[in-house]
Every structure is written in C-alpha cells, then in structure tokens.
Structure 1
C-alpha cells in the first residue's frame, strides 16, 4: 500500500512538472506569436512607405515630363522667334537699301524702313520672351530632376528595409 501511495505521489509530482512545462511553452508560443505579429506590422508599414515613396517618385516623373514638354515648346518658340528676327533683319536691310537708292520717293522708303524696324523690334522682344520662357522651363526640369533623385533613393532604402524585415 505504501508503494501505491509513493507511486501516486510521484505521478502527482510528474503531472505538476508536465503542467508547468506546458504553461511555459504556451507563454513562449504566445510571445513568439506577438513578435511575429509585430514583424508583420513593421513589414506592412514598410510596404506602405515604399508605395507612398513610389507614388511620389511617379508624380515627380510626371512633373519632369510635363516640364520637359514645356521646355521643348519654349525651345521651338525661341527658334521661331529667332527665325522671325532674321526675316525682319533681312526686310530692314532691304528697306535701307531701297532707301539709299531711291531718289524720288523718299517718304515711301522711310515708311518701309520704319515698318521694318518696328517688326524687328517686335521680333527681338518676342525672341527675348521666348528665351526667358525656355530658361525657366529648363531650370524647372533641372530642379524637378534633382528632387526626383531623393525620392528614388528613399524608395530604394524602404524596399531594402522591407526585404531585410521579411
């Protein structure tokens, strides 16, 4: 009977030890699950940051593209203004030549010279405005290109952090 009592006491002690081990394992499992949940939350946050950075980079690319189109149009306008200026200079030279060779109808030649001079002045102003617009557009493209570089670097860093977390 003593043996049965000793066996029962040992079985109770073994049961208590097993229950303690089970409780510790359950607590450790819960801790690991909590760590896994936190890691997933961090990965999700990194994904969102990467997506946001990519959106900003895409917006910057669009702004650069738009600015490049404006710069192209400004360049074409500047070329047209230069062409108009050259034509006005030619017309002025022709009018001055006519003025110099005309002996009888000096007034008509003077009017032609004045009209050609006015066209030349207008063409010079248009050329100056077109060149200024081109310079502004080129500066905008350059600034946007610089700004985009920072967004691309940020997106790359966030992507690397996301991969490291996974």
Structure 2
C-alpha cells in the first residue's frame, strides 16, 4: 500500500477488498463497452489478490487495475479504469507505476497489455509510460474490434 497526495487529496494505492468489487463493477460499466462479468472479477480477486489494486481517494474507489503474472516472468495488465469524475488526475499513472514496480520486484521481464484500436487516448497514455506497439490482434473484442498489443520491457 502506498499513499500519494494529489491536489490536496490523499490517494492510496492498495489491494482490492471484497467490499470494493461493487465499485469496480460500477467503474467498468462506465468505462468499457464489454465489461468483465462479476463472476470473473471475483475469480481474479481470489486468484491474483496482490495484482488486483485500487486507487482509493478519501475512502472512494476511484480506479482499479488487474495485473497477473504468466509463465513466471511476463506481467499482463488485464484491465485498468478510472471513474470518469477522477480521470486526468494521474490515478491511471499511479496504478500503472504501482503494478510495474510490483512486477519488477517479482522478476517480471516484460509487461503486456491490449488496448482497443480506436482508443487512441489510451494508446498515447501507454506510450508515455514506455510501452511499444507490437502488432494488431484482429477481432479481439466481442464487438469485432481489433486490439493493439503493447509491451514494456523491464530489463
């Protein structure tokens, strides 16, 4: 758990708690065309508790990130979203930096993620963090949209 002060607000990045899942679902429905079902969110919480983190702003879950480690050395960011009222306040950057640091401590050599081809803002966000485009994945999303695969080498 880490605390940050942004615009005179204390922001805590911490592991998700079971009681946070309702807020996570609410954020998902506001931010994604095809949110994960609650059953998958619960399973990810149980299976990857240290990689399922939230940005807590004064007791409000304002954002979340789900990151998992695969094959012992590849970090995969499955989802990241910030409540619309809290966007553009660096919460996404804090969440990404936290998970990248956690992955690095656990010996991860490469971080991967997928982003909608149409989501140019998110692609720019990831590029600012050092991610590189690695190719297009056709028909990746349920609605048929392609994804852009991005990677961040950690060594």
Alignment TM-score > 0.5, same fold: no
Larger radius of gyration: 1
Higher relative contact order (CA 8 A, sep 6+): 1
Greater helix content: 1
Report the TM-score, using the length of structure 2 for normalisation. 0.19
**TM-score normalised over the length of structure 1:** 0.18
